[in-house]
Amino acid sequence: MNLTAIAEQYGTPAYVYDLAAIRAAHTDLSAMLPGPAKLYYSLKANPHPLVVGQLHRLGCHAEVSSAGEIDAALAAGVDAHHILLTAPGKSAATVSYALRQGVRRFSLDSPVDLRRVAWLAEQSGTDVRCLLRVNADQPVAGLGLTMTGAPSAFGADASWIEADPAQFRGGGRVRIEGLHLYMGTNIADEDALIAQFDTAAATAQRLGPVLGELIEVDLGGGFGAPYAQTGSRPLWPSLRPRIEQVLDTRLPGWRDARPAVAFESGRYLAGSSGSLLCGVVDVKTSKGKTFVVLDTGINHLGGMAGLRRLPPLRPALAVTGPDDGRPTTRTTVVGPLCTPLDTFVRDADFPEVHPGELLAVPNVGAYGLTASLLGFLGHPAPVEVVCDGDTVLDVSHLVLAREPGPYDPAVTAADPAVGSLV
Ligand SMILES: Cc1ncc(COP(=O)(O)O)c(C=O)c1O
């Protein structure tokens, strides 16, 4: 991929994704996971149709959390039966939309969530197969943004399920066929990955007899990869044998798919495929300090970091032209938004750059554009260029457009399931 040529042709800001990098990440991750195992691609990392389509062709199922992500998965060619809808706030509108689109698999977070899905499945005459999302009882050492082992909106506590299994057993058109144990994101340490999979498998081992036969245990993932920094995806050479050992101990039937095991990944699969190309709009001095102003900022990258949903964003901004021997100056690099939060680099040594020059942020194929504050201030979305190696396959941009009426015209104001939940 020639980033300079792409910027010259399509302008900046520009996200550039390379499908070859996605294939390489998928090959590496698959080789580090036990076989047989199912792999879900989490669309929240990057729902671009060509990215989703590539991962679908590589055999990934889709993990989605909204009507928009259901549409993105279907548009990319994913069969509705290969979509798993997860999220703590699955409203009646979202669930009924999913059912109408043919989605039949849900991750359930609570008895209310279960009864709502059951009610809507009954109304639509549809059988659904569900995983119970479980919050393990112990926190896992080494997890950064942890979603388990602590009070959490995600899933039901394992001890709650054990104490009151009748609330979680399903029935009618809902079959509980497994567990969903996603625990944390951006885990780069092999020991921490193993610790969470051991906790997950032990939790499944404990809850299996309470719930009946488990067809699938989704062990989560959270596989780490560099974000907006230079560097390569980590490789964990002994991850596969170590997970296999955990599974042989905790879930001995897994090799014969009793239960089948599954993993989820967004960041690892998509992160290294993307760069954000930024143009330098202005360079100026204010009270002795140098400021570089870019044509892109937290509206296009890093909004989620500001919300502490991602690690603090300190993008490595590489000068794409020759910068050998350039002097560096203490510099603050900002975006175009009218807020001091829109700062990529604060008073750090930075190569001297000039208006019109091109900079690139690497490793932003995951949690880039759609994890940002796209609507704030109304700047147009950056162009998104999808390449396969040196070949440009697609050039497009997102539009935030106003249309009459709600997203789903069939939606009603009230939650039709509420009466049956109390
Ligand atoms: C339930 C669930 N699955 C998968 C993911 C994707 O995680 P990652 O991008 O770290 O692979 C997330 C991220 O928050 C998640 O909440």
Over residues 64-103, the pLDDT tens digits come to: 999 999 999 999 999 999 999 999 889 999 999 999 999 9
DSSP β-bridge partners for residue 285: 290
Q: Is the pLDDT of residue 143 over 90?
A: no
Tens digit of each residue's pLDDT (9 = 90 or more) over 258-303: 999 999 999 999 999 999 999 999 999 999 999 999 999 999 998 7
* Pick among 3.40.50.300, 3.40.50.12280, 2.40.37.10, 3.40.50.2020: CATH of 272-397: 2.40.37.10
DSSP letter at 138?
A: S
Q: E-strand spans in 55-159? A: 61-64, 83-85, 105-108, 128-135, 145-146, 156-157
Q: Residue 345: pLDDT band by 50, 70, 90 thresholds?
A: confident
* Residue whose CB lies within 8 A of the most ligand 1 atoms, among 41, 179, 185, 223, for a mutation test: 185
Cα separation, 33 vs 241, in Å, equals 8
- 117 closest CA partner among 137, 138, 98: 98
- 105 closest CA partner among 79, 71, 132, 129: 129
Q: Ligand 1, atom 2: nearest CA belongs to which residue?
A: 182
Tens digit of each residue's pLDDT (9 = 90 or more) over 210-254: 998 999 999 999 999 999 888 999 999 999 999 999 999 999 999
Ligand 1 atom having least distance to the Cα of 271? 9
- CA-CA-CA-CA torsion sign (355, 356, 357, 360): positive
Q: Ligand 1, atom 15: nearest CA belongs to which residue?
A: 182
Task: Report helix angle 19-32 to 239-250, nearest 10.
Answer: 50
132 within 8 A of 108, measured Cβ to Cβ = yes
Residues of the chain with CATH 3.20.20.10: 19-270
386 within 8 A of 48, measured Cβ to Cβ = yes
Cα separation, 22 vs 43, in Å, equals 14
- For residue 222 and ligand 1, the question of a CB distance below 6 A is answered with yes
331 within 8 A of 290, measured Cβ to Cβ = yes
DSSP codes, 362-416 = -S-SSSSGGGS-TTGGGPPPPEEEEEETTEEEEEEE------SS-SSTT--SS-T
Ligand 1 atom having least distance to the Cα of 107? 1
Q: How far is CA 278 from CA 10, 97, 265, in A?
A: 12, 38, 27
Residue located via tokens 């208006």: 355
Ligand 1 atom having least distance to the Cα of 133? 1
How many percent of the chain have pLDDT more than 70? Answer: 91
Please, which residues have CB within 8 angstroms of residue 104's CB and are 6 or more apart in sequence?
80, 81, 126, 127, 128, 129
Residues of the chain with CATH 2.40.37.10: 272-397
Tokens of 232: 């390569």
- For residue 42 and ligand 1, the question of a CB distance below 6 A is answered with yes
* Residue whose CB lies within 8 A of the most ligand 1 atoms, among 63, 143, 264, 363, for a mutation test: 264
Q: Ligand 1, atom 6: nearest CA belongs to which residue?
A: 266
Q: Is the pLDDT of residue 144 over 80?
A: no
- 398 closest CA partner among 365, 364, 370: 370
Please, which residues have CB within 8 angstroms of residue 407's CB and are 6 or more apart in sequence?
67, 68
- For residue 266 and ligand 1, the question of a CB distance below 6 A is answered with yes
Q: What is the pLDDT of residue 196?
A: 95
Ligand 1 atom having least distance to the Cα of 268? 11
Please, which residues have CB within 8 angstroms of residue 64's CB and are 6 or more apart in sequence?
43, 70, 72, 73, 83, 84, 85, 86
DSSP β-bridge partners for residue 170: 175
CA 18–ligand 1 middle distance (angstroms)? 21
DSSP codes, 157-206 = EHHHHHH-GGGGSEETTEEEEEEE---EE-B--HHHHHHHHHHHHHHHHH
CA 369–ligand 1 middle distance (angstroms)? 16
72 within 8 A of 96, measured Cβ to Cβ = no
Q: What is the pLDDT of residue 3?
A: 93
CATH number of the domain located at residue range(s) 19-270 in this protein = 3.20.20.10
In our burial notation (b when 16+ CB lie closer than 10 A, e otherwise), range 159-192 reads ebbbeeeeebebeebbbbbbbbbbbbbbbbebeb
How many percent of the chain have pLDDT more than 90? Answer: 77
Q: Residue 418: pLDDT band by 50, 70, 90 thresholds?
A: low
Q: Residue 399: pLDDT band by 50, 70, 90 thresholds?
A: very high
66 within 8 A of 52, measured Cβ to Cβ = no
Q: What is the residue-averaged pLDDT of the chain?
A: 91
